[in-house]
Amino acid sequence: MKPTALVAGNWKMNGLMSSQAELEALAGMLKDGGDADCDVLICPPFTLVSAFASAGYAGVAIGAQDCHAAQSGAHTGDISAEMLRDAGAKYVIVGHSERRADHAETSALVQDKASAVLSEGLKAIVCVGETEAERDAGRTLDVVLSQVAESVPAAATPHNTIVAYEPVWAIGTGRTPTVADVADVHAALRRALIERFEDAGEGFAILYGGSVKPSNAKELMAADNVNGALVGGASLKAADLNGIIEAYR
């Protein structure tokens, strides 16, 4: 089964209600630009999930950037997967490197969060990636393969789980690995998924993230086992994200 490509925008801690104008503009560009052979997703801050989902812009799914592993309880400031489903989210990002670094999230916790996402019938985007120090030490594959093994739950299928490879040193820096380097990591991730999930491992989408922009999207998206992009800063402007989606037209 060939994975369905996905271009996902992670807005991080950016966006206000007025930012809905960018979502509206993106929907218009998708309509006017013709069919793209990929799904499109925007993951705004929690404050905008309900409003964006309720707006119902054709061709754009809405997701969230994180969730708590529990369904409810005394967890001040946290959001559960059930709440996100209720707000209209269809996807949830878990294990982003900024969560792993800023909040000391372990792969075991990421797996618990992914399991919570799946239990609500949502799709989990499970992030993996190495730091610059790990890359310089030649540990890239050791790190990402360990993370994917420990972060992806047993209940994962190609229909409910997506893996996103984001080298930490490339996020927001303007630096990107070579296309050959990206292909090597994605090939290793594919082999690991096939080893664990057998034939179903062929069907998991594996996204690349890390300074993806219109100028490099076509080359990166054409690499073997790259099934879309997880986009940070370039997703904040409709024109920039549409420029990345052009790689699939």
Single-letter amino acid code for the residue at 33: G
Catalytic residue among 98, 105, 166, 186: 166
Single-letter amino acid code for the residue at 124: A
Q: Does 68 qualify as catalytic in the annotation?
A: no
Place of tokens 């559960």: 80
Catalytic residue among 22, 68, 96, 186: 96
Closest to 7 in 3D by CA, of 223, 219, 215, 205: 205
Farthest-apart Cα atoms in the chain, separation: 47
Element containing residue 207 per DSSP (H, E): strand 206-209
Q: Does 166 qualify as catalytic in the annotation?
A: yes
Cβ pair 115, 69 in contact under 8 A: yes
Closest to 61 in 3D by CA, of 49, 70, 72: 49
Catalytic residue annotation: 96, 166
